[in-house]
């Protein structure tokens, strides 16, 4: 009955600033960040996704392969030995290879956030960061709690993770860096759906790991690059670097960081739980 | 979300964009904030689309999200506005019709929850029960909070009204 009166109070509406496509893309990214953050934290600390427990020993041949460079013929990377996955409930513990982390959490968050920015800027000086709250930097989280389903002995998950939207020029992607305590587990490419490439990686200090690229959508418009680096022999930690990229309309994913840059970020000695 | 679901979601929000902006404007009286509220509403709807899409009255659900988004925003310290602020006068040449001015003054003068009641009841044409359900208050509270708005609207339109 009063609708017309209300409409006259509203008057002529200015053009909307709500962009549905931007909103949908933002929600997609947020959903992926939530999923990737949760999965990566669990993977990095418990090895639950070691469908094919992987031992990486082969040095990377002459630098690193471009992202999406080498298709994998099977779910297992070449040049690796595969051992059966541990029987559930019979995994050998203690879970961590290093001493307990004594640095207070607030100090560690601050230090690692600065280290993450520094590590990225060292390989991409023009990089800009934006968190979900609009801040310039990384959104830091800390997980330090027992994982349900693990044997008695208080097997904790211990990870610091930083997430941000990184932009280099016109390219941008969702970047997550996880710094976790190293355990007896190994990640692998086996069992991971949508893997396009999987390459072993060896760092200058003996770090070992792998770099995989993954297509997340059937139309190839979303891609994820996942680098896992075991630094157990260096500083009792593991580093995981995830980069998720949306393709522009009619294009293919164009990541803001190269594979080499992701590896250099993971090798940054400042990304450690033992400063 | 699957592509098909996302397309369905996109169709829904595109169709509801303008009506929700106008409702949001009545609540907050600011087009920038109205757009922010609609964005928040659509974001929440995206995350809940799997369950929401099959709701019997999806429009009421979306209005509820929008209303609560606004009430939540109003609780933030930097968003608080004093409900007793003087009402800005119209600067339109020749002024605006008395009924429009009266409703504008009413919306500016009442506190947020009462404003929500007025908008839901008399702009969205929801029933007392539906309004109470969205705001999580009793039907009696809706009636009492709508009373002042109802009286103002009666005066503005000079028409008899059935509650």
The dihedral through the CA atoms of A231, A235, A240, A243 has a sign that is negative
Residues 6+ apart with CB under 8 A from B37: B24, B27, B28, B66, B69, B70, B73
pLDDT for the residue B24: 94
Highest mean pLDDT among A150-164, B126-140, B144-158: B126-140
A2 with B31: Cβ contact below 8 A: no
B26 with A10: Cβ contact below 8 A: yes
How many residues are given for chain B? Answer: 163
When CB atoms are compared, the residue of B31, B99, B119 closest to A5 is B99
- Measured CA to CA in angstroms, residue A201 lies from A117, A205, A210, A264, B6 at distances of 22, 12, 5, 11, 37
ipTM for the complex shown: 0.76
pLDDT for the residue A63: 37
pLDDT for the residue B91: 44
Instruction: Output A26 or A262, whichever has higher pLDDT.
Output: A262
CB burial string A9-29: b at 16+ within 10 A, e below: bbeeeeebebebeebbebbbb
pLDDT for the residue B82: 44
Distance separating alpha carbons of residues A180 and A116, to the nearest angstrom: 14
A3 with B123: Cβ contact below 8 A: yes
pLDDT for the residue A20: 82
pLDDT for the residue A217: 54
User: Residue ranges per domain, chain A?
Assistant: 17-267
* Interface with B, mutate which of A3, A7, A10, A22 (most B CBs under 10 A): A10
Instruction: Output B85 or A30, whichever has higher pLDDT.
Output: A30
% of chain A residues with pLDDT over 90: 14
Minimal C-alpha gap between B162 and chain A (Å)? 10
Least confident range from A159-168, B19-28, B87-96, B128-137: namely B87-96
Band the pLDDT of B156: cuts 50, 70, 90: low
DSSP H helices in chain B: 3-28, 31-47, 49-52, 58-75, 98-109, 112-118, 128-135, 139-157
∠ at Cα A177 (A171, A179), nearest 5°? Answer: 165
- Which two tokens mark B80? 């608080």
Band the pLDDT of A191: cuts 50, 70, 90: low
Band the pLDDT of A72: cuts 50, 70, 90: very low
B1 with A10: Cβ contact below 8 A: no
* pLDDT exceeds 60 at position A57: no
Overall average pLDDT of the B4-18 stretch: 85
B22 with A23: Cβ contact below 8 A: no
Average pLDDT, rounded, for chain B: 79
Band the pLDDT of B20: cuts 50, 70, 90: very high
Instruction: Output A91 or A247, whichever has higher pLDDT.
Output: A247
Minimal C-alpha gap between A27 and chain B (Å)? 7
Band the pLDDT of B90: cuts 50, 70, 90: very low
pLDDT tens digit sequence for A86-106: 443 333 334 677 788 888 989
Instruction: Output A40 or A230, whichever has higher pLDDT.
Output: A230
Average pLDDT, rounded, for chain A: 70
Residues of B in contact with A27 (CB under 8 A): 43, 46-47
Least confident range from A108-112, A253-257, B53-57: namely B53-57
Distance separating alpha carbons of residues B108 and B123, to the nearest angstrom: 15
List, in order of start, the domains of chain B with CATH numbers.
1-81 (1.10.1740.10), 87-163 (1.10.10.10)
Q: Is B139 exposed, middle or buried (0-12, 13-18, 19+ CB in 10 A)?
A: middle
pLDDT tens digit sequence for A154-172: 344 678 888 888 999 888 8
B22 with A8: Cβ contact below 8 A: no
Minimal C-alpha gap between A25 and chain B (Å)? 10
Start-to-end CA span in chain A (Å): 69
* Interface with A, mutate which of B8, B46, B156 (most A CBs under 10 A): B46
pLDDT for the residue A52: 31
pLDDT tens digit sequence for A203-227: 888 788 888 887 665 455 667 788 8
Residues 6+ apart with CB under 8 A from A36: A174, A176, A224, A242, A244
pLDDT for the residue B134: 87
Distance separating alpha carbons of residues A200 and A271, to the nearest angstrom: 20
Instruction: Output A206 or A110, whichever has higher pLDDT.
Output: A110
pLDDT for the residue A128: 94
Please state the pTM of the whole predicted model.
Answer: 0.49
When CB atoms are compared, the residue of B35, B104, B119 closest to A16 is B35
Peptide bond into A94 cis (omega under 30): yes
pLDDT for the residue A119: 96
* pLDDT exceeds 60 at position B46: yes
* pLDDT exceeds 60 at position A84: no
* pLDDT exceeds 60 at position B21: yes
pLDDT for the residue B85: 44
Residues of A in contact with B125 (CB under 8 A): 1, 3
* pLDDT exceeds 60 at position A152: no
Residues of B in contact with A8 (CB under 8 A): 97, 99-100
Band the pLDDT of B66: cuts 50, 70, 90: very high
Query: Nearest Cα to B16, choosing from B136, B124, B125?
Result: B124
Band the pLDDT of B25: cuts 50, 70, 90: very high
Overall average pLDDT of the A124-145 stretch: 84
Q: From the centroid of its chain, how far is CA B102?
A: 18
When CB atoms are compared, the residue of B22, B46, B125 closest to A27 is B46
When CB atoms are compared, the residue of A17, A23, A219 closest to B43 is A23
Instruction: Output A232 or A78, whichever has higher pLDDT.
Output: A232
pLDDT for the residue A221: 61
8 A C-beta contact, residue A180 and residue A231: no
Query: Nearest Cα to A180, choosing from A32, A31, A39?
Result: A39
- Measured CA to CA in angstroms, residue A36 lies from A74, A176, A179, A251 at distances of 23, 8, 14, 24
């Amino acid at each position: 009955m009063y609708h017309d009166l209300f409409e006259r109070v509203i008057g002529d509406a200015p053009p909307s600033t709500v962009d549905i496509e931007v909103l949908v893309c933002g929600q997609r990214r947020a959903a992926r960040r939530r999923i990737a953050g949760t999965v990566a934290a669990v993977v990095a600390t418990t090895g639950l996704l070691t469908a094919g427990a992987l031992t990486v020993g082969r040095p990377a041949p002459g630098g690193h392969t471009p992202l999406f460079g080498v298709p994998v013929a099977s779910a297992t990377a070449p040049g690796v030995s595969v051992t059966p996955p541990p029987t559930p409930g019979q995994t050998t513990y203690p879970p961590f290879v290093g001493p307990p982390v004594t640095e207070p959490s607030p100090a560690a968050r601050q230090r690692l956030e600065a280290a993450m920015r520094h590590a990225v800027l060292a390989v991409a000086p023009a990089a800009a960061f934006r968190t979900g709250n609009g801040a310039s930097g990384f959104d830091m989280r800390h997980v330090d709690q027992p994982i349900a389903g693990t044997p008695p002995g208080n097997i904790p998950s211990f990870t610091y993770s930083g997430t941000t939207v990184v932009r280099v020029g016109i390219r941008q992607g969702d970047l997550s860096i996880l710094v976790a305590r190293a355990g007896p587990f190994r990640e692998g490419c086996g069992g991971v759906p949508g893997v396009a490439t999987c390459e072993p990686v060896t760092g200058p200090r003996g770090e070992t790991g792998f770099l995989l690229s993954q297509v997340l959508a059937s139309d190839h418009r979303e891609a994820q690059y996942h680098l896992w680096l075991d630094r157990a022999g260096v500083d009792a930690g593991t580093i995981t670097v995830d980069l998720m990229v949306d393709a522009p309309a009619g294009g293919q994913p164009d990541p803001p960081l190269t594979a080499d840059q992701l590896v250099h970020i993971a090798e940054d000695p400042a990304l450690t739980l033992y400063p | 979300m699957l592509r098909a679901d996302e397309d369905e979601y996109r169709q829904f929000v595109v169709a509801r964009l303008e009506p929700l902006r106008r409702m949001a404007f009545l609540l907050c009286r600011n087009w920038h904030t109205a757009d922010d509220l609609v964005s928040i509403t659509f974001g929440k709807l995206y995350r809940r689309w799997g369950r929401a899409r099959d709701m019997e009255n999806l429009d009421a659900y979306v209005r509820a999200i929008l209303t609560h988004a606004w009430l939540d925003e109003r609780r933030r310290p930097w968003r608080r506005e004093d409900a007793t602020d003087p009402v800005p006068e119209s600067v339109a040449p020749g002024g605006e019709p008395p009924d429009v001015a009266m409703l504008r003054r009413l919306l500016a003068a009442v506190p947020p929850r009462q404003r929500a009641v007025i908008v839901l009841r008399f702009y969205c044409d929801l029933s007392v029960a539906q309004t109470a359900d969205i705001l999580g208050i009793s039907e009696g509270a809706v009636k009492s909070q709508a009373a002042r708005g109802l009286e103002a609207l009666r005066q503005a339109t000079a028409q008899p009204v059935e509650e």
